[in-house]
């Protein structure tokens, strides 16, 4: 029995939530392996859009188990809001959601530290979602963090208060005034713990191993995207976790021998929120059109997303690092009315042509484009691959030839039903 891994191959928001929801029917268990409420995973069915931040995107399938892995960081306040929304829909998430005892908790002061650090950076800010992600993972690596299992400790209150005091000292150094916001946040945070405590805390590594012995199928769900990975993104304009396939092994405690398919989600164009390099970014009318037609506004922060053409240099890098076996292509329908479509096939860095990603985040990159014709047809109603226009199939064939990877899934709209499987 194998564990398949699903993850984003660009800068996040590729449509992971939608594809996980669609694929959930094929699996017994959906397990989120990293990130936290910086993620916003949207999915749609019966005409209603749902956005998940911490909870795996398989939660709407009542008979499927969902796991929040040890690699995830949890803000109890946001978790409670998500759970309340699910309960209001008539779901009973305590029955099909479990949390790793080793997952770290985002504390109220982590969020304030995020704000203080970003404010200090001024123009060179990362554009963080300000959900406390960086400071929480910092405490994790500094070995000072608070974990879900600490909620069961008699010393929890003391551990919590000690860490809050340490954070206050740092906030003081940054002249960050927390006197008004912290008491309220602290109260809300503690109250939200009662919701967290309703869930079963597990050792996800044992649990997943047991599932595998029972021949159960598991889908590991990633957050963010490969180009935001702590190691391989354009550092420092990255998030603080490993968003790549390797992150699934550490974020869930998997035996690599069980790795099955790696499904890479690719948006037909690129978007990015926050700062950092974006070689194919468009500042013109076409960029505006992608933003408007693609509804490219952050699912977590509402910020307008930067938009640009598909970048095959970056995509090939992501395919290589993740060992992607299958591409799920999303949002090509957004370009239905485009006369022509550009795809970046190489970079010029300092006048030299290259197919490699530069490491320096300040490298001046000039994208080299191949122009393909637009298909100029509404593909959003197509139900089978055969129904798709030939020009669009040629566009897919071009991507497959360039990347040497099969496009196995084509998403043609936000709804569950707007999905074409090629096999
Ligand atoms: P995630 O973070 O990767 O889960 O992606 P987001 O949910 O942040 O952003 C993707 C957006 O595109 C959401 O609003 C989805 O509902 C929407 N979406 C997903 N797939 C498609 C698609 O194939 N076509 C269109 N038009 N929208 C899509
Ligand atoms: P999903 O899972 C897009 C970006 C932020 C910022 C950088 C660091 O929905 O694809 P952080 O809050 O982690 O300190 O922010 O990473 N970022 C995302 N961009 N989608 C996401 O998640 C993101 N999560 C973080 O905008 O540039
Ligand atoms: Mg998102």
- Examine the residue annotation and report whether 41 is marked as an active-site residue of this protein: yes
The residues that bridge with 316 in the sheet, in sequence order, are none
As given in the structure block, the two tokens for residue 83 are 């759970």
In this model, does residue 397 exceed pLDDT 90? yes
Percentage of residues in the chain with pLDDT exceeding 90?
96
Tens of pLDDT, residue by residue over 103-143, are: 999 999 999 999 999 999 998 999 999 999 999 999 999 99
- The pocket of ion ligand 3, defined by CB under 5 A, consists of 13, 40, 299
In this model, does residue 209 exceed pLDDT 90? yes
Ligand 3 centroid to 96 CA: how many Å?
23
pLDDT at residue 383 in the model? 97
pTM of the model: 0.97
In this model, does residue 283 exceed pLDDT 90? yes
In this model, does residue 423 exceed pLDDT 80? no
Query: Distance between CA atoms of 189 and 177, rounded to whole angstroms?
Result: 19
Which candidate, 327, 321, 357, 313, places its Cα nearest to that of 245? 321
From the list 4, 13, 229, 311, the catalytic residue is: 13
Query: Distance between CA atoms of 265 and 211, rounded to whole angstroms?
Result: 26
pLDDT at residue 104 in the model? 98
pLDDT band per the 50, 70, 90 thresholds, residue 361: confident
Contact residues of ligand 2, CB 6 A cut-off: 8, 11-13, 35, 38-41, 126-129, 131, 133-134, 223-225, 228, 239, 273-274, 299
Q: Would you call 251 helix, strand, or coil by DSSP?
A: helix
pLDDT band per the 50, 70, 90 thresholds, residue 62: very high
pLDDT band per the 50, 70, 90 thresholds, residue 1: confident
Percentage of residues in the chain with pLDDT exceeding 70?
100
State the chain's mean pLDDT as an integer.
97
pLDDT at residue 173 in the model? 98
Ligand 3 centroid to 127 CA: how many Å?
15
Contact residues of ligand 1, CB 6 A cut-off: 8, 12-18, 39-42, 44, 295, 299, 330-331, 333-334, 411-414
Q: What is the mean pLDDT of residues 183-198?
A: 98
- Examine the residue annotation and report whether 61 is marked as an active-site residue of this protein: no
In this model, does residue 7 exceed pLDDT 90? yes
Tens of pLDDT, residue by residue over 221-244, are: 999 999 999 999 999 999 999 999
In this model, does residue 357 exceed pLDDT 80? yes
Ligand 2 centroid to 211 CA: how many Å?
31
> Up-side HSE of residue 235: CA atoms within 13 Å toward CB?
8
Among the bound ligands, the one closest to the CA of 16: 1
Of 31-35, 153-157, 290-294, 298-302, the range with the lowest mean pLDDT is 298-302
Tens of pLDDT, residue by residue over 284-340, are: 999 999 999 999 998 788 889 999 999 999 999 999 999 999 999 999 999 999 999
Q: What angle do CA 285, 288, 291 make, to 5 degrees?
A: 155
Token pair 């919701």 is found at 195
Query: Distance between CA atoms of 333 and 414, rounded to whole angstroms?
Result: 10
pLDDT at residue 34 in the model? 98
């Amino acid at each position: 029995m194998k564990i398949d891994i699903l993850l984003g191959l660009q800068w996040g928001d590729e449509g992971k939530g939608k594809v996980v929801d669609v694929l959930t029917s094929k699996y017994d268990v959906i397990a989120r392996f990293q990130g936290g409420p910086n993620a916003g995973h949207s999915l749609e069915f019966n005409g209603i859009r749902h956005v998940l931040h911490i909870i795996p995107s398989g939660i709407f399938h009542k008979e499927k188990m969902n796991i929040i892995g040890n690699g995830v960081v949890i803000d109890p306040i946001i978790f409670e809001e998500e759970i309340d929304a699910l309960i209001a829909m008539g779901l009973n998430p305590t029955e099909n959601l479990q949390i790793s005892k080793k997952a770290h908790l985002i504390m109220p002061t982590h969020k304030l530290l995020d704000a203080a650090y970003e404010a200090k950076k001024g123009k060179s800010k990362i554009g963080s979602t300000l959900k406390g992600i960086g400071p929480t993972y910092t405490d994790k690596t500094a070995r000072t963090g608070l974990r879900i299992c600490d909620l069961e400790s008699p010393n929890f209150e003391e551990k919590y208060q000690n860490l809050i005091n340490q954070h206050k000292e740092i906030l003081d150094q940054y002249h960050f005034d927390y006197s008004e916001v912290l008491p309220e946040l602290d109260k809300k945070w503690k109250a939200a713990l009662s919701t967290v405590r309703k869930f079963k805390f597990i050792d996800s590594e044992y649990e997943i191993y047991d599932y595998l012995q029972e021949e159960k199928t598991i889908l590991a769900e990633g957050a963010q995207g490969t180009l935001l990975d702590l190691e391989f993104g354009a550092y420092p304009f990255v998030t603080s976790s490993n968003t790549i396939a390797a992150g699934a092994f550490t974020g869930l405690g998997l035996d690599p021998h069980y790795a099955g398919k790696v499904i890479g989600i690719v948006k037909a164009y690129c978007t990015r929120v926050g700062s950092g390099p974006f070689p194919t970014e468009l500042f013109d009318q076409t960029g505006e059109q992608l933003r408007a037609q693609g509804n490219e506004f952050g699912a977590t922060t509402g910020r307008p997303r930067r938009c640009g053409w598909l970048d095959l240099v970056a995509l090939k890098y992501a395919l290589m690092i993740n060992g992607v076996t299958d591409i799920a292509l999303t949002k090509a329908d957004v370009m239905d009315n485009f006369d022509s479509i550009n795809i970046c096939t190489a970079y010029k860095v300092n006048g030299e042509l290259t197919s490699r990603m530069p490491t320096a985040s300040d490298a001046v990159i000039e994208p080299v484009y191949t122009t393909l014709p637009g298909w100029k047809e509404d593909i959003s109603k197509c139900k089978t691959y055969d129904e798709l226009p030939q020009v669009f199939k040629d566009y897919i064939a071009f991507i497959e030839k360039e990347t040497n990877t099969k496009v196995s899934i084509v998403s043609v709209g936000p709804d569950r039903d707007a999905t074409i499987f090629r096999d």
